[in-house]
């Protein structure tokens, strides 16, 4: 990855002011899908792929940022109430960060920034959240403000809504608070992150289905529809929260067949799988962990209907190649699967996926589409 400081100087010239670099990693969710927005615990890891931003504080309110060629240079004035710019423009992520910081602490001095990344976009690795996290930390630092993890979690998921999606808090929490070598058990009510050490010989791959899940348009509507169905089911059954509902899973019998019932079944069963997966990880029980991933995929496919034929085929191919488990990861409807195996089987799993899934796809690039995803540190723990 190129040094973002060089990009900064190239774009905006050398300045005798202090420059610093902020990094925020992408994440892969191991298990606990489509439940964070219902306040239930999830188990992602941060990966070693990340967004790095070099920053220099300005004395006025201008924010200027440059990224790779295809994204180009953006600049705007950091005013107290920012509105989004054209849909799909990457400037919205910068605006989202500025608006999130501004809403809580007021607009401050702006910054010049250069962004570099080795995180593939729109691949279920939360690259957009990583960009918002990095940019938020950079703007805070430009204004000499320290924010706690809790404060960041108050503003970041809201900030993402500003760009059109309102996910749960998983992506930001994982990108901020993960620990090297550990998965993060993220709880939301109240907010807490527990580091669960990943056994030494467990390996994860992120395999792209080669179908992109754009977080705009249809995919966003589908995401919101899943969220709405789950919430409607909860209301219909008279529960105050899913935390209460998972203690009485039989209540589902009162719901007629349909999307609400299916969502309720997915959410409650997925929450129990997260619990079981944490136990399996703590006991170094790779067989059980792998089975839970497969059950999660089946529930996402059959109940929540957020898989795709390509993702199903990818998961099957991974298992046929020797993986202990695999499942779609992230919002689904395209994007990636997370594949789980033990270290001695990693090479065979990779070879199998290349021979039986990626063969015949001229666009396949192993560096972008078949990524080793070992657990790395989050932005708050990166040197
Ligand atoms: C997206 C959201 C997350 C989470 C997942 C589904 O990635 O950003 O908050 O809801 O979908 O688990």
**Domain boundaries defined on the chain:** 4-196, 202-372
How far is residue 97 CA from its own chain's centroid? 16
Q: Say what the pLDDT of residue 120 is.
A: 81
Return the pLDDT at 249. Answer: 85
Q: Environment class of residue 118 by beta-carbon count within 10 Å: exposed (0-12), middle (13-18) or buried (19+)?
A: middle
Confidence bin at 124 (pLDDT 50/70/90): confident
Among residues 191, 180, 204, the alpha carbon closest in space to that of 324 is found at 204
Residue range 334-360, pLDDT digits in tens: 889 999 999 999 999 999 999 999 998
Q: Give the pLDDT mean for 72-97.
A: 93
Whole-number average pLDDT of the chain: 94
Handedness of CA 252, 256, 258, 260 (dihedral sign): negative
pLDDT for the residue 229: 97
Q: pTM of the prediction?
A: 0.95
Looking at CATH, the fold of the domain delimited by 202-372 is given as Alpha-Beta Plaits (3.30.70)
Q: Report how far ligand 1's centroid is from the alpha carbon of 171 (Å).
A: 7
Annotation marks residue 3 as catalytic: no
Mutational pocket test of ligand 1: of 40, 168, 219, the residue with most ligand atoms within 8 Å of the beta carbon = 168
pLDDT tens digit sequence for 185-218: 999 999 999 999 999 999 999 999 998 766 556 7
CA of 330 to the centre of ligand 1 (A): 5
What pLDDT does residue 188 have? 95
Fold annotation for 4-196? Ribosomal Protein S5; domain 2 (3.30.230)
Could you read off the pLDDT of 102-115 as tens digits, one per residue?
999 999 999 999 99
Nearest ligand 1 atom to the CA of 126 is 7
Catalytic residue among 171, 201, 221, 250: 171
pLDDT, position 157: 86
Find the residues whose C-beta lies inside 6 A of ligand 1.
Answer: 29, 33-34, 36-37, 167-168, 170-171, 330-331
| Contacts (Cβ under 8 Å, ≥6 apart) of 325 | 289, 290, 291, 292, 293, 294, 319, 339, 340
Q: CATH topology of 4-196 equal to that of 202-372?
A: no
The number of beta carbons lying within 10 Å of the beta carbon of residue 216 is 13
Shortest-distance Cα residue to atom 8 of ligand 1:
167
Using one digit for the tens of pLDDT, what is the confidence trace for 234-265? 999 999 999 999 999 899 999 999 999 999 99
* Greater pLDDT, 124 or 311: 311
CA-proximal residue: ligand 1, atom 1 (nearest): 331
Question: HSE (CB half, 13 Å, CA atoms) of 148?
Answer: 5
Q: Report residue 71's pLDDT band, with 50, 70 and 90 as the boundaries.
A: confident
- Residues 77, 121: Cα–Cα separation, whole Å: 26
| Mean pLDDT of all residues in 98-105 | 95
| The pLDDT of residue 1 is above 80 | no
For residue 330, which atom of ligand 1 is closest to its CA?
7
Give, using CA atoms, the residue closest to atom 2 of ligand 1: 167
Choosing from 26, 30, 34 the residue with most ligand 1 atoms within 8 A of its CB, the one to mutate for a pocket test is: 34
Q: What is the pLDDT of residue 94?
A: 96
pLDDT digits (tens, 9 = 90+) for 286-334: 999 999 999 999 999 999 999 999 999 999 999 999 999 999 999 998 8
b/e sequence 221-230, b meaning 16+ C-beta within 10 Å: ebbeebbebb
């Amino acid at each position: 990855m190129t040094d973002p400081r060089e990009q900064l100087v190239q774009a905006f010239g050398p300045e005798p002011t202090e420059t610093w670099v902020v990094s925020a990693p992408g994440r892969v969710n191991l298990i606990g899908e489509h439940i964070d927005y219902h306040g239930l615990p999830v188990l992602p890891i941060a990966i070693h792929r990340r967004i790095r931003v070099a920053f220099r504080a300005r004395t006025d309110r201008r924010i200027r940022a440059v990224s790779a060629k295809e994204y180009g240079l953006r600049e705007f004035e950091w005013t107290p109430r920012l509105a989004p710019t054209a849909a799909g423009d990457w400037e919205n992520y910068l605006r989202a960060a500025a608006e999130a910081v501004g809403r809580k602490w007021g607009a401050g001095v702006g910054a010049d920034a250069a962004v570099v990344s080795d995180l593939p976009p729109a691949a279920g690795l939360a690259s957009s959240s990583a960009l918002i996290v990095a940019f938020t930390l950079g703007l805070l630092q430009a204004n000499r403000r320290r924010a706690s993890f809790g404060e960041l979690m108050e503003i970041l998921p809201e900030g993402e809504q500003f760009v059109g999606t309102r996910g749960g808090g998983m992506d930001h929490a994982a990108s901020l608070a993960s620990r090297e070598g550990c998965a993060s058990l993220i709880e939301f009510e109240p907010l807490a992150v527990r580091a669960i050490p990943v056994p030494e010989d467990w390996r994860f791959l992120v395999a792209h289905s080669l179908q992109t899940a754009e977080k705009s348009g249809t995919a966003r509507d589908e995401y919101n529809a899943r969220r709405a169905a789950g919430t409607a089911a909860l209301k219909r059954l008279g529960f105050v929260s899913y935390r209460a509902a998972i203690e009485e899973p039989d209540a589902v019998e009162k719901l007629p067949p349909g999307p609400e019932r299916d969502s309720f079944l997915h959410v409650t069963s997925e929450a129990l799988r997260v619990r079981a997966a944490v136990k399996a990880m703590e006991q170094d029980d790779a067989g059980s962990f792998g089975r839970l991933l497969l059950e999660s995929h089946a529930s996402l496919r059959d109940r929540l209907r957020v898989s795709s034929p390509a993702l199903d085929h990818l998961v099957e191919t991974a298992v046929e190649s020797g993986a202990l488990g695999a499942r779609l990861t992230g919002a689904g409807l395209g994007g990636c699967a997370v594949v789980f195996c033990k270290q001695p089987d990693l090479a065979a799993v990779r070879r199998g996926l290349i021979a039986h899934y990626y063969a015949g796809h001229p666009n396949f690039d192993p560096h972008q589409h078949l990524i080793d995803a070992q657990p790395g540190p989050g932005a708050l723990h990166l040197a």
